[in-house]
Structure 1
């Protein structure tokens, strides 16, 4: 069974965007890696125009950048920039959680769907033939879990920004994929968030989510973790 899907999208540029994002999700693209338009166009047997459009879309999302010397390359962030991205993500996602809880938007079906996603982080590992597939699985389910809440809140603009931030952080964590955690522990972390969400206790939910983000900061930037500001 193939864990990483084929690239079937409604446009050629969408196909290239998905290809690049899937390589990030699988851990094969890291900060600073070059993206050569001619190689991508040859791979998919397409012209360079949709590849350039894909690069533009990814640039707008902050996932890649362009320089005359290096061309298109996966974004590189300093330690301070990484901390700032974590802080922005924490702030925006906390706003979403507050909106969901204050409006009591979660129902039993939502809790079940979120639980299914969390459990698949652990249960799906047995279907992965390679480490690349395992990394892809856990990252795809991680963003699916959080995106479920982003979309549920109806916060379209926040969701768009958060997706870009997710990938920006992921290319950094791809430098050492052990920072992503192991399937069992990621399952437990997300199940804990679900249990707290069921209480509809806003302070407890925010505290649980902040700890979740703090864990990522600790694994990604252990030396700079003390500078992380959740209330910024």
Structure 2
């Protein structure tokens, strides 16, 4: 169970959005762990809000796959089994390979967003900011797929990454204990270098290697 956190003063103007943002950050940053119960009385007291905006925020988080509602047991942070995670990674890999087959060749300008997110990953790794590292990692992969210029592909791809980010957060914590802080950044730099070659076989090989070694179990 997470340690008790201080009460947070939220403005009523965008209360639901703020609650969604705060809880999402706590879930994806690993402060709230998969399977941890979200007790209404505790969360409303901590945020200084009523139950109505919290319940709406929980509903939106459930739509994103980050919260689960259990009959007669309330809400909890969503869980992913190893099989669930493996299946989501497989779908992610299929969509990324399709994106590269559609996108190549790319210009140097096309790679700009990926470079920006790689730099953000590096800054977060140096600071030890695990939530920003995970967010920048997700944005890097979205930028990769966005090079295909395929709106429906992005709409299908983003929810998969969001669900996986909880799993990623756990693995990033394990990786922090076992590996150098910039190892993950280096892996993504290798992937970016492969994409910059504009050689499809090189890119697909890099994607396969990246998918195999990206996370510790």
Q: TM-score range by the shorter chain?
A: 0.7 to 0.9
User: Quick one: distance in 2 between partners of 1:151 and 1:64?
Assistant: 27
* Structure 1 residue 173: Cα displacement: 4.1
The question of 1:139 aligning with 2:134 is answered yes
**Larger displacement relative to structure 2 (79-88 or 169-178):** 169-178
Q: Does 1:178 align with 2:177?
A: no
1:83 and 1:124 map into 2 onto residues whose CA distance is 26
Q: CA deviation at 1:26?
A: 2.1
Deviations 1:68-91 (A, max 9, x none): 243111112222222111111211
Structure 1 pair 29–60 and aligned structure 2 pair: CA distance change class (3 A): same
Matches within 5 A, 1:200-215: 200-215=198-213
Residue 104 of structure 2 is aligned to residue 108 of structure 1: no
Secondary structure of the residue aligned to 1:66 is strand
C-alpha distance in structure 2 between counterparts of 1:67 and 1:146, whole Å: 32
Kindly tell me the number of residue pairs found equivalent between the two proteins.
206
Unaligned segments of structure 2, at least 5 residues: 1-8
Check conservation: 1:143, 1:166, Cα contact below 8 A: yes
What per-residue deviation string (whole Å, max 9, x for no partner) do you get for residues 36-74 of structure 1?
333333333333223222222222222221102431111
Deviations 1:132-162 (A, max 9, x none): xx21131121012112233443433433443
Between stretches 81-90 and 30-39, larger displacement belongs to 30-39
Please give the root-mean-square deviation of Cα atoms over the aligned residues, in Å.
2.9
- Determine the structure 1 residue equivalent to 2:5: none
Is it true that 1:52 corresponds to 2:55 in the alignment? yes
Q: Which residue of 2 aligns with 1:191?
A: 189
CA contact (8 A) 1:62 1:165 kept: no
Tell me: higher relative CO, structure 1 or 2? Use CA pairs within 8 A at least 6 residues apart. 1
The runs of 5 or more residues in structure 1 that have no matched partner are: 1-5, 221-232
Mapping of residues 141-180 of structure 1, within 5 Å: 141-176=136-171, 177-179=173-175
Structure 1 length-normalised TM = 0.75
> Separation in 1 of the partners of 2:169 and 2:22?
16
Is the Cα contact below 8 Å between 1:65 and 1:75 reproduced in 2? yes
- State the Cα deviation string for residues 157-188 of structure 1 (Å, max 9, x = none): 43344333223223234445124765411221
Q: 1:75 aligns with which of 62, 75, 78?
A: 78
Kept after mapping to 2: 8 A contact 1:114/1:145: yes
Kept in 2: contact 1:173–1:179 (CA 8 A) = no
Distance verdict in 2 for CA 1:59–1:155, change over 3 Å: farther
Give me the whole-angstrom Cα distance separating, in 2, the residues matched to 1:63 and 1:214: 25
SS in 2 for 1:30: coil
